[in-house]
């Protein structure tokens, strides 16, 4: 069994991007970006699962809409490995608001609005560990070498 080479981060291809048929294109961007996919699955979050995932935002005005959106259709959850994975994945995603995202980022290319913005990425290594454990068991983290 191989050792973990880089750091881990957690990503979601959100319902808007899956519904628009962009899953394949986004996975291509991820692998082109030097990430190793350690785990990946298509899920449909319940309202309760989406509320739990975004609990840090529960006081924010957009919380109800965010939970509704994230549980509205299937999404793809991913555990990604790379050197500096958390920052590298957020750089590849681009700014939360696609209107402010840099050219070449996933949100610039695939997202329509700040609410429906194609992808999620962990904001720290600690949250990456928590978020991976929320969706994946230890057995689902695959070693490829």
Binding site for ligand ATP (CB under 6 A): 57, 62, 66, 96, 114-115, 117, 120-121, 123
Annotated active-site residue in 14, 38, 90, 120: 120
3-state secondary structure 115-127: CCCCEEECCCHHH
Question: Is 120 one of the catalytic residues?
Answer: yes
Q: Record the tokens describing residue 54, joined without a space.
A: 């975004």
Residues 6+ apart with CB under 8 A from 29: 92, 106
Query: Which residue's CB atom is positioned nearest to ligand ATP?
Result: 96
- The residue among 71 and 122 lying less far from Mg ion, judged by its C-beta, is 122
**φ, ψ of residue 76 in degrees (nearest 5):** -115, 125
Contact partner at residue 115 from Mg ion, ligand ATP, none, CB < 5 to 8 Å by partner kind: ligand ATP
CB 86 within 8 A of CB 128: yes
Q: Which does 71 bind (CB under 5 to 8 A by kind): Mg ion, ligand ATP, none?
A: none
* Interacting residue ranges for Mg ion, rule: CB under 5 A: 123
Active site residues: 120
């Amino acid at each position: 069994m191989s050792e973990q080479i880089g750091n881990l981060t957690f990503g979601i291809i959100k319902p808007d991007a899956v519904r628009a048929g962009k899953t394949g294109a986004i996975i291509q961007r991820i692998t082109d970006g030097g990430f190793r996919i350690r785990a990946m699955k298509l899920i449909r979050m319940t309202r309760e699962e989406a509320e739990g995932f975004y609990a840090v935002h529960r006081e924010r005005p957009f919380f109800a809409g965010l939970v509704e959106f994230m549980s509205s259709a299937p999404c793809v959850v991913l555990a990604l490995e790379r050197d500096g994975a958390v920052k590298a994945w957020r750089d590849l995603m681009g700014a939360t608001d696609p209107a402010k995202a840099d050219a070449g980022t996933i949100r610039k290319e695939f997202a329509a609005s700040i609410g429906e913005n194609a992808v999620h990425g962990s904001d720290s290594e600690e949250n990456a560990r928590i978020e991976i454990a929320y969706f994946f068991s230890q057995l689902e983290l695959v070693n490829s070498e």
